[in-house]
Each structure stands twice: as C-alpha cells, then as structure tokens.
Structure 1
C-alpha cells in the first residue's frame, strides 16, 4: 500500500508539472522524462516536436517559469558518429536542460535506449536548430514565445558532432562553443564518409569563447582536439581532460562527470554566472580541483 501511495503521488506530481507546462499535444508527438528530470532546479523533459523533423528538443517541464526577463539560453548539439539521433547523449542533454536551458539536438527522438540505426546527420541540421529556436521565440503561437534568449547560443557536439560544430563555427549567432571528444584532423589527407573535414584554417573563424572537453590521452580525438586548442589564440579557450577515452560519460546517469564542466561553462558563457566562472578562472580553478581532471587554458580565460 505504501509503494502504491508513493507511485500515485509521483504520477500526480508529474501531471501537475505538465498541467503548468505550455507545451500541449498539438505541439509534441512524443515525450520522455530522463533520470527523473535531472538534478537542476528545473525538471526537464525530452520532446519530439511536430513539424520539426530530425531534431530532438530538451527543455524544462514547466515553461511558465520563463519569460523575456528570465529566458532560456540555447544549446545546439551534434551527435557522435554523425548519428541522426541523440541516443547516446540524451542523459547528458536532459541534465543540461534541467539547469534552465533549451537544448536542440540533431536527430530523431530516441524512443528507448537502443542504438540508432539509420541515415547519418549533416552539419546543416545545427543551423536548422538555431533557425528554429530563433523563430520559436518570435512566434506568438509557440510555447517558447518570448522565452528564449536568442543572444545566448552555444553550439556543441561530440566527435563528428564536434566537427559539425567547427564546420558551422562562423555563424554570427553563436556566442560560445563546446567541442566534446573532437578536433579537426591534424592529418589533412584523412577522409571519412559523411564527416565534415575542414582544415585547421577553419579555427580562425571561431569568434567566441570555446571549451574542449576530452577523454584524456586514451581518447582518439585527444591529439586533434589539443592541437586545435593550442592554435586558438584570438578568443578565450579552455581544454579539460578526464581519463575515460573517446566515449565520455554521456550515457551515465545525469550525463556523468562530463556534466560538471559543461553546465558550468554554459552558466558562465550564456548566463554570465560569476560563480560558474570560478570553475575555469584562477590559478586553482574549480575544475582543476575535481578528481581526475587536467586542464589547460589560454591567457584570455582569466581576463
């Protein structure tokens, strides 16, 4: 009986949250709550939006808490292996959304935890994600109307998704970058099907602060990513390594250890949170004090 009562109370709480949510069945095709909505202040939900094909949206369940004076910054995400579904990253992305973000991920809605098998994604889908977020903020019939900070957009991705981000890095709407387990290839002779392969000159188009989150020397992208980082001198750049290899911690509950630098970076860059900045600034920055992490940064980070 006690277990039944607990279940009923949980379901009533969930229904209450959605009663406050301005997203109704006319807008969404499917929805899932991941890891009980995350650890942030705003319990999140993963959505398939009608008419927005090959994209998955993560956001707080209760949108009534956001408005033009308290808007949602935007994270645009591209997947590893050029997957056209965030099936490997939805725990990480759901956690980020729970901290008060609109996350727009490339690819089809993950119905369950199984591997996506289908067509590959394209870099253009990230641009479509930015376009969609900007449009939603100005559409009066959108549940996101005047709830999105279109001046605070971080574009990000893991592995191939990171290369897609770098392919798109010149877009002037981007205000921060987060490159995960990725980097432009040092060997320009390498060619991989469906994967964007711009040369290192592309880094000159980066026009906003950038963080590289890598899996340490065991990460197959380590050399490429660190080479990128060392070439970036015109904007603040930070490199964080955690020794887990190329796969990162995305599929762990709440996105695992990678969520800590990711959320702090977004809070600092997109919300101007001075407490979050301490994770990266100073001789003994917060991330350097967390077990397992090694960091490098250019001189612009501490300015």
Structure 2
C-alpha cells in the first residue's frame, strides 16, 4: 500500500474547498426565528427539502422535508448528523448532496451555520459538534413547543461525514445512540500524530469502537484518502462493512446535480439501515450486490448478506 504524505492529504482536502460554488434556488425566507432556502429544486425524493437555520441551534444547518405534516406517530424522520470536509464549520460544499438525501425523508443536522447564498462560510469544526447535533435533535423531538415534536426517529441515527468529517464521524462512532456509520472520502491515518488542521488524531484502534453497520464511500485510487479508507475496511471485521469506490478523486460528487452518484448510494444505505427499506438494501446485499449493475462503482463487503 502506498503511503501518502500527510501534508499532501491536507492540501487536497483544502483544495476541495476551491471547487465551484453550490447551486441555490431564489426561494428564500429570512423572517421569523429561522431562515430557510431551497437548494436546487428541493431534491428528487418524495418530500421536497429545504435548508434552514434554527434559532435553537444556530451552530448547525438543518436539511429536512419542507412539509412536516406528513410525519408523526406512524412515519418519523431518521436523524443524520453530518461532518464537513477540511474540518470546515460550514456545509457549503455538501448542500446538493444533503438536500437530496433529506428529500427522501431524513432529518439532516450538518455542522456549521447555514451559509449565506453563494458563500462558503468560515471557521473550523470539532467532532463534538456531531454529538451536539444528536443531542439537539433528540431534545427537539421531546419538546412540545418544537415543530419536530414526535416527528423524529430518535432510535434511528446515523453519523456521517466527508474527509475530515469522516474522521470526526469515526471519533464519535462509539456513541450507543448511533445506528449506522457512513464514512466518505476518508480513513484513519496509518501514521500516529495526524492531528493536522484540527483533524482528529485517531489510531486504527478506534475502528474497534464501531458497533453498527458501516459504509465507506471512496473516490478510487485518485482519492488521497483511498489507502487509509481501504485499510480501515480491511481492519474492520466485527461489524457489517461495505466499501464502494468510484473513480472521481477526493472531491466525490457532492456538488453535482442532486449530489451525483454519491448521493444515490448514500441515500440507499440510509433507507436500508434507518428505514428498513429492503428494496434499497438490494444495492448492498446479494452475491453480487446490486451495485454490481452500475459500472461506475466497484466494491467489497464483509459480514453482510
């Protein structure tokens, strides 16, 4: 396995932030306690999504179905906590991706304040903000004064993130409330002392703390995180794990229309793991798994049907 210099890893993570700005629609509301905006067209799922800032959690950005009346005792929204690339304290790089996922009936709480239209945001984030996201969502579900009262599925929670956000995800993956883990364009360094630019300083021993089914989405050998992510996969033998590679490099497809292929695969995983959608699960189950029908992807799996 070829070892990549840590400095190069950081440079490419930061370079990902120089990609073109994500698209927004012109629908916007800044009145009242929260501001909201529609990303692209609200996604392809059955529940048109919005992005918003909540006055009770201005440190994060929410992506959720616009119409909450469809959710309640019989249909709840699973929770997804999201960490950003480059340890950014803004989800600007992942807006299309997160909006698309949300449109399929998920409540996404992403690290960082909602970015103004066309802006990237600023500052660095911490792994603890993923835990903050979970804590807040659970509290909102129990608060009779919250618009999310009894609408969230607090028993179905994912922690997910890209690049540095993937390391943050792995750092909090031991949280007993977590139902599944999704690590995108990331993996734990083989060299100790990798806490550069606020990146979590983890060792491969952290992988043993994972207690749920886990998905890795990588950008192929051109992805600076490829070697680390594939090594993580090889070392995880105690839980179901699936690793999928698409040759797009470290930046993934997050900024593509509706989040591109990465959004399609991630959404299917969330549907399977958080909603029990067996049809969506066929993408990952079987021999070979359904993803074999898509020539853009190659994959491996362990401890899975």
* Map of 2:94 onto structure 1: 89
Max Rg structure: 1
The alignment of Structure 1 onto Structure 2 pairs a total of residues equal to: 281
Q: How does 1:6-17 map to 2 (within 5 A)?
A: none
Tell me if 1:124 matches 2:125: no
Tell me if 1:133 matches 2:143: no
1:72 to 77, 88, 92: 77
* Map of 1:63 onto structure 2: 68
Q: TM-score, normalised by structure 1?
A: 0.89
Give 1:190 shift.
3.4
2:184 to 152, 155, 180: 180
Q: Which ranges in structure 2 are unaligned for 5 or more consecutive residues?
A: 1-25
Instruction: Please say if residues 92 and 119 of structure 2, whose CA atoms lie closer than 8 Å, have aligned partners that are also in contact.
Output: yes
Alignment partners' CA distance in 1, 2:193 and 2:113: 32
Alignment partners' CA distance in 2, 1:132 and 1:115: 24
Tell me if 1:297 matches 2:305: no
Q: Which ranges in structure 1 are unaligned for 5 or more consecutive residues?
A: 1-10, 19-23
1:33 match: secondary structure: strand
1:243 to 230, 244, 247: 247
Give 1:191 shift.
3.7
Instruction: Please say if residues 68 and 148 of structure 1, whose CA atoms lie closer than 8 Å, have aligned partners that are also in contact.
Output: no
Q: Which moved more, 1:51-60 or 1:185-194?
A: 185-194
* Map of 1:100 onto structure 2: 105
Instruction: Please say if residues 44 and 58 of structure 1, whose CA atoms lie closer than 8 Å, have aligned partners that are also in contact.
Output: yes
Alignment partners' CA distance in 2, 1:111 and 1:250: 18
Q: How does 1:15-54 map to 2 (within 5 A)?
A: 26-28=32-34, 30-54=35-59
Alignment partners' CA distance in 2, 1:57 and 1:215: 26
Cα gap change, 1:67 to 1:25, in 2 (>3 Å)? farther
Question: Which 4+ residue blocks in structure 1 deviate beyond 3 angstroms?
Answer: 24-27
Instruction: Please say if residues 54 and 85 of structure 1, whose CA atoms lie closer than 8 Å, have aligned partners that are also in contact.
Output: no
Give 1:257 shift.
1.0
* Map of 2:256 onto structure 1: 252
